[in-house]
Amino acid sequence: MNGPPNSAVRSPGPTGLRRFTTPRPPREERCELCGAPLAAEQRHPHLVDTDKRALVCACGPCAQLMDRSAASPGRFRAVPGRFLSDPGHRIDDRAWESLRIPVSVAFFFRNSALDRPVVLYPSPAGATESEPDEEAWRSVLDATRLAALLEPDVEALLLRRHEGRTECFLVPIDLCYELVGRMRLHWQGFDGGAEARADLDALFSHVRGLAREPQGSRP
């Protein structure tokens, strides 16, 4: 699955996002490394190809084989499955507005090639990069303890401004591109439309159900 150009993970292309943006084709999906069929009814693992800056669909054995520890990184890194929340974050209206994001959702991840955070948000064209100044994104990253826990390239800080407050989660990077694909599929009008908002509500409800606060004392 191709994943955002000019960032650690490129914006997923039409082939990679087929399962998110169009009805599932009759042919079965296959591991992009060994060609083994992937079970259609199960969520399969993803790897980040750090050379091509893309997401790769993988079977379980290939995901385990090609992944490398942070101490000895290789070309492929497995996307982990943890979900964390930070209900006590300090991301206020001023910090959000400084990001200059025209929609209510954004995600940050650390691009290891660029050695800096990348800020993206969903749009009708797919994942769109915001380019706030360093002070702006630093004000957000400093306001949540989840930022220090992010694994480069494979995890993201997912933010949603909703009903006068901001929700803050640490999630797998592939979920963020699933979100982008859903929004691109259902987007209507200027603000996305009712169907896109309903899909967004459902996805965040799913994230809330999985997310836990990180262990340890709050800094």
The one-letter amino acid code at 119 reads V
Q: Is the dihedral of CA 81, 69, 76, 37 positive or negative?
A: negative
CA-to-CA distance for 63 and 65, rounded, in angstroms?
6
Q: Where are the domains of the chain?
A: 18-78, 84-210
Express each pLDDT in 155-189 by its tens digit. Answer: 999 999 988 889 999 999 999 988 888 887 777 66
CA distances from 193 to 107, 181, 185 (A): 20, 15, 11
> Nearest-5° angle of CA 78, CA 83, CA 85?
145
Provide the residue-wise pLDDT of the chain in tens; the chain has 219 residues: 444 444 444 444 444 444 444 445 556 789 888 888 887 756 788 898 877 778 888 888 888 887 654 445 567 888 999 999 999 999 988 888 888 888 889 999 998 888 888 899 888 888 888 888 888 888 888 999 999 999 999 999 999 998 888 999 999 999 998 888 888 777 766 566 678 788 889 999 999 999 999 986 454
Quick one: the chain helix, strand, coil %, rounded to 5?
Answer: 30, 25, 45
CA-to-CA distance for 107 and 105, rounded, in angstroms?
7
CA-to-CA distance for 204 and 199, rounded, in angstroms?
9
CB atoms within 10 A of CB 15: 9
Query: pTM value?
Result: 0.78
The one-letter amino acid code at 132 reads P
C-beta of residue 157 within 8 angstroms of C-beta of residue 168: yes
